[in-house]
Structure 1
Amino acid sequence: MKSLVTVFGAAAITLASANAALSARTDLVIGVVLEPPHLDPTAGAAGAIDEILYANVFEGLTRIGPNGEVLPGLAESWEVSEDGKVYTFKLRAGVKFHDGTTFDAEDVKFSLDRARAEDSVNAQKVLFSAIDTVEVVDPLTVKVTLKRPQGSFLYNMGWGDAVIVAPESAETNKEKPVGTGPFRFDRWARGASVTLVRNPDYWGEPAALEKAEFRFVPDAAAAVPALLSGDVQAFPNFPASDALEQIKADPRFAVVIGSTEGETILAMNNAKAPFDNLKVRQAISHAIDREEIILGASNGLGQPIGSHFSPANEAYEDLTGLYPHDAEKAKQLLAEAGLADGFSATIKLPPTTYARVGGEIVTSQLAEVDIKLEIIPMEWAQWLEQVFTNKDFDLTIISHTEPNDIDIYGRDGYYFGYNNPEFKTVMAELDATVDPEKRNELYRKAQRIIAEDAVNAFLFQLPKVGVWDAKLVGMWENSPIQANDLTKVRWTD
């Protein structure tokens, strides 16, 4: 009997140990569709960079929370002058970069001055355009003086493009990123994954995960077996939407449908004939069947949009009825533009599922009005170089996931070549306006201008289809910013 008790006791201890080991899991493999071109959020437009590095490795003065709110970051507090032009930031004490160098006010001045410099390569340089001076008051105090009041300044400082970097490591962040966040960069296996490990010297609450591997799964067909086999435990943006019903029926997984800031558009090169003709752009807007595209490219989960603005924003105006699907109207407009027989063009598509599938549907729809498209599939780096940087394109499909980014339509030299002085005036007024109601009014006016100008064909708001192990908690339901913030993610029993 004593032997049996001993055996059962030993078995119980073994089982308890096994359970403890299971409940103590601290590693996570996250599936992401795109591999970033490099790992420096301050030097590239690719959202894939922020999806891995934002809030995990790099931090800014402020940060954007899961509901789109502005939260303290490396600045624990701030004061704003009565005229709205001077921001005095009180920085956190005891913060170190991952290479052991000390974070202080000099790093903030370096980062902001670098981002707004004449030779800056920051993809969102406009975020810093209102800054006049950055002064170091003392090691933990920075004073930023603006040229004019800017209602979105604190929000802008929470973007991935505004993270704080150190002069000692800034030039090598593309390959070996060094930040202040709860995770340190471990390694980048090109074509396969980026691995982060917990930062033991983090200034704030330590991350529950000891290791997080962001694995690149560009093929939607590979996402399902990777998930079902347990090779990948979480897809913040699940690419295989056709398999959702199968996944939903499996109790091992949580399926969470949320919203993003991703306005998905059929972008047109407004600076190139025939897309420089309003009637041609209006014809294309009438020729597309938005509902068919949403059904095919987002499994019916995308929300229709009629301008470049998120339906989740309180300033959203529904303009989807401005250009209803009408093939005959499209043909009439093409005839008025001198193109009664139609024309030929190319459509360059990045590797995302929504773009590739959406591009096929758009090509079929435009063929009905005698616009013949040649589909040119591209890898992400190719798209960034040819379309975004060199503006060498006719049409493309892309989802702009930056938050509240309608201002891109007022930027000189932006890739779709739109130039409207009236729109720029509205943006300038918005930038200087603090009152929320007035800002919303200006946002609505801006939406109407670009919709009436048919700058692009506005398709749908990209849904966030999150699929992960049901034992994971802390994953973001929505994506108010292009990020996979792992600071609160942990495994439960």
Structure 2
Amino acid sequence: MEANANSVATVSPFQEMQIPSFRFAIPLLALFLLPMYYPRRNYTMKKHYRHFSYCTRNMHSIHGTKQAPASISHAFPVRALFTPLLLAILYTLLLVATAHARPLDKATAPAAPQDALRILIRTIPEQFDPARAHTHAASTILADLFEGLITVGPDGELLPGAAEKWTVSPNGRTYTFRLRSNMRWSDGTSLTSRDFLYSFTRLFALGENAPRGYDFHGIEGAELPRKTGDATNLGIAAPDDRTLIIRLREPNPFFLRMLTHTGAVPVPRHAIERHGDLWSTPENLIVNGPFAISSRENDNLLSLHRNPHFHSVSQVAPNKVCYLVTEDDDNPCRMAQAGHVDIVQHLPAHQVQYAKRHMPGWLRANPQLNTYWLSLNHKDPRLASLKVRRALYLSIHREKITEGLDNGAVPAYGLIPRMKGYAPLAAPTSAYEVRLAEAALLMREAGYSDARPLRLTIQTTQEASSNLITAAIIRNWRKIHVFADIEYKTFPELMSSLRAGDYTVSRRAWTTGLPSPIYFLNVFHSASATNFSRWANPQFDSLMASAESARTPEGKTAMYQAAEALLVEQAALIPLFHGASLSLVSPFVTGWQDNPYGARLSRWLSKTLPSKPAASAKE
């Protein structure tokens, strides 16, 4: 049966109570199935049941092919259903009564020591190579393990990291960093400016295998082909052990904040030369950040301890940090309430109402710069037609989707969210029904109809919020002769399919702490390793180059707006919404500060253990 068109705009009572809705199908089925096994001697009941079944089979269907009879000629014996009805009611009441007490699935709720700072995260990467990191979860963990020249404080503002100070030339193109003295890796080996030089050459040598490498293309010579360790014609120099000089092609007011990202941290050359690609596995990993890896248990528990060689180890608040993963989308609130986690990094949308009502003081909003969209594989011939892509873009009712998320999300009609000096692309002035009619016309012009529909597959993760969003999209597309199936994947599988181009339509999100449109638009540059859509447009690349060379903020903004308009005009993607991420933070955790950069390092967070009630004296 087709889902109600408004279901995406609400959170069902079953979801709020964390009860899978399918469980309530059991008592309903009992009403009709149990009478079939009623003793044969009750001929009257069986006769009436057969007549009732005949009538219901001929009632009006969703296709409108048959009409229900005006009345049922024989009264159905209600008394015959008394026993199954009573059982159904009792079963339903039992489910409701035990909803909040449903035990955690031990297979998906790993245990971590209570004295550790325990963070529930979406996924834990297989390896910990900063240059290859491509997910927000991986970047979060790597920020605890590695530190670049610049770091961030509790409020997200810039602080000295591995560099104790720096200067910028008058023309804004040359940065000179002075590293701290006696810097060391976690194995005690000295860390120098040459480690940073080596790491940047490796980042650029990896090319498409370094998703964030393109973000640093503004460094002189970064675009030239090179091997790891080769700094020929590269605008980076290490004249001595404590000095690093970086030259840019053009001034970039966000360059210092860029250096806080994982692509700019140092990697241990001696470990890479010893272990090759296995250097970044937990057992071989050598780091320079506030924490080092203690152990990893399967894919759902990563334990960290203070790095004794970190330059400011006395300022690292927690002794231990544990990252946990659960496969159950209903576990986060229950794990937090049961005292198994202290922080839930991303709260699923369907649990927001429950957290608001039953977990006062836990819910925190993260006003991050992010966009959620449908990624289109432009190598798929089914999406080659601009008319088809435009129809898919126009037919989605974004307002209905965001009404149901309840997490501060706003409809997105372009790629770039609101940020200082830049407003998001305005919503169309025409009503949704008008846009839907235009989309249907485009599909008919492209040769599609109910008799010849376009069939697509949407890849997504199996989460309640994702299911609601995908269901709404499928309903919208049905109205324009598009039949879409769902292919569920785990988050790592989803990212793997995106990178390999093994998809037609896939959900995607992009989050950045850099308040500039370029860090969203770069995703669609033809040379970007994060351009998983395989969309290539010379005009777009030219607009990006013009934005980089523009001398005034107004000139850059004009180029950014033109580039974003081209993305939408060509339907290179299907934007869905911009929105804040919601987290759960225990009242026993201190040091958490909401900030627009979404930057919260574990080193700044403290935790007090809840006091145990005093034992009563024996009388």
TM-score calculated relative to the size of structure 2? 0.70
For 1:327 and 1:48, locate their aligned partners in 2 and report how far apart those are by CA, in whole Å.
37
Which residue of the partner structure matches residue 276 of structure 1?
384
What is the aligned length? Answer: 464
User: Structure 1 residue 292: deviation in Å?
Assistant: 2.1
Are 2:269 and 1:167 aligned?
yes
Match of 1:94, SS state, is coil
Once the two structures are superposed, the pairs formed by residues 304-343 of structure 1 within 5 Å of their partners are: 304-321=411-428, 325=432, 326-340=435-449, 341-343=452-454
Which residue identity is paired with 2:379? A
CA distance in 1, matches of 2:554, 2:521: 17
Change in 2 beyond 3 A, CA 1:461/1:174:
farther
Larger Rg: 2
Q: Does 1:123 align with 2:211?
A: yes
Q: CA deviation at 1:245?
A: 3.4
Match status 1:155 vs 2:155: no
- 2:606 aligned to which of 486, 490, 493: 490
CA distance in 2, matches of 1:62, 1:324: 48
Higher RCO (C-alpha under 8 Å, 6+ residues apart): 1
Question: Relative to 1, partners in 2 of residues 1:66 and 1:259: Cα closer, same or farther, differing over 3 Å?
Answer: farther
Q: Which secondary structure state, in structure 2, belongs to the residue aligned with residue 262 of structure 1?
A: strand
The aligned amino acid for 1:429 is S
SS at match of 1:386: helix
1:317–1:444 Cα contact (<8 Å) kept: no
Question: TM-score, normalised to structure 1's length?
Answer: 0.86
Read off the aligned partner of 1:137 and give its amino acid letter: P
Change (3 A) 1:289 1:344: same
Contact 1:151–1:433 under 8 Å retained in 2: no
* Aligned match of 2:558: 441
Q: Deviations for 1:208-227, whole angstroms, at most 9, x for unmatched residues?
A: 11111111023221112111
SS at match of 1:487: helix
Contact kept, 8 Å, 2:440 with 2:479, in 1: the verdict is: no
Evaluate the alpha carbon distance shift between residue 247 and residue 384 of structure 1 in structure 2; reply closer, same or farther with a 3 A threshold: closer
> 1:120 & 1:273 partners in 2: Cα distance?
24
Change (3 A) 1:434 1:156: farther
Partner of 2:241: 139
1:49 aligned partner: 138
Letter in 1 for 2:561: R
Query: Partner residue of 1:246?
Result: 354
Higher normalized strand content (fraction of residues): 1
Identify the range of structure 1 (63-72 vs 306-315) with the bigger mean alpha-carbon deviation. Answer: 63-72
Q: In structure 1, what is the Cα distance between the partners aligned to 2:254 and 2:533?
A: 24
SS of the residue 2:322 aligns to: strand
CA separation in 2, counterparts of 1:319 and 1:333? Answer: 22
Change in CA separation of 1:371 and 1:46 when aligned onto 2, cut-off 3 Å: same
Structure 1 Cα separation of the partners of residues 338 and 480 of structure 2:
46
1:201 alignment partner, one of 302, 305, 309: 309
Note closer, same or farther for the CA distance 1:116–1:192 as it changes in structure 2 (3 Å cut): same
Write the mapping of 1:18-417 to structure 2, written as runs, cut at 5 A.
27-54=116-143, 56-63=144-151, 69-117=157-205, 121-131=209-219, 132=221, 133=234, 134-170=236-272, 171=277, 172-175=279-282, 176-204=284-312, 206-239=315-348, 241-250=349-358, 253-296=361-404, 298-299=405-406, 301-321=408-428, 325=432, 326-340=435-449, 341-351=452-462, 353-387=464-498, 389-403=499-513, 404-412=519-527, 414-417=531-534
Alpha carbons of 1:351 and 1:270: their partners in 2 closer, same or farther (altered >3 Å)? same
Partner of 1:12: none
Cα contact 1:262–1:401 (8 A) shared by 2 = yes
Task: Decide which moves more: 428-437 or 337-346.
Answer: 428-437
Which one has a larger percent helix, Structure 1 or Structure 2? 2
CA shift, 1:331, in A, is 0.6
Question: What does residue 539 of structure 2 align with?
Answer: 422
Opposite residue 472 of structure 1, the aligned amino acid is: V
1: CA distance, partners of 2:333 / 2:510: 26
Residue 202 of structure 1, CA deviation = 2.3
Which shifted more, 25-34 or 255-264?
25-34
SS in 1 for 2:185: coil
Partner of 1:11: none
Cα deviations by residue, 1:321-374 (Å, 9 ceiling, x for unpaired): 278633221111112223344310111113555434322221222112110111
SS in 2 for 1:117: helix
Q: Tell me, yes or no, if the aligned pair for 2:589 and 2:607 is still in contact at 8 Å.
A: yes
Q: Distance in 1 between matches of 2:473 and 2:292?
A: 42
Tell me the SS of whatever aligns to 1:408: helix
Q: CA contact under 8 A between 1:36 and 1:49: conserved in structure 2?
A: yes
How far residue 384 of structure 1 moved from its aligned partner, in angstroms, is 2.3
| Unpaired segments ≥5 residues, structure 2 | 1-113, 222-233, 514-518, 611-619
Partner of 1:158, secondary structure, is coil
Distance 2:477 2:509 in 1: 20
2:368 is paired with a residue whose SS is: strand
Q: Please say if 1:472 is aligned against 2:589.
A: yes
Check the 8 A contact 2:375/2:573 in 1, yes or no.
yes
Deviation at 1:60, TM superposition (A): 1.3
| CA RMSD, 1 decimal | 2.6
Q: Sequence identity, in percent?
A: 22
User: Which amino acid counterpart does residue 59 of structure 1 have in structure 2?
Assistant: E
Measured after TM superposition, the shift of residue 393 of structure 1 is: 1.3
Check whether the contact 2:374–2:507 (CA below 8 A) recurs between aligned residues.
yes
Correspondence for 2:108 = none
Preserved CA contact (<8 Å) 1:466 1:477: no
Contact 2:193-2:241 at 8 Å conserved across structures: yes
Give the whole-Å Cα distance in 2 for the aligned partners of 1:65 and 1:452.
Answer: 40
User: In 2, are the aligned partners of 1:305 and 1:461 still within 8 Å (CA)?
Assistant: yes
Indicate conservation of the 8 Å contact 1:282/1:330, yes or no: yes
Deviates more, 1:280-289 or 1:339-348: 339-348
Equivalent position SS for 2:448: coil
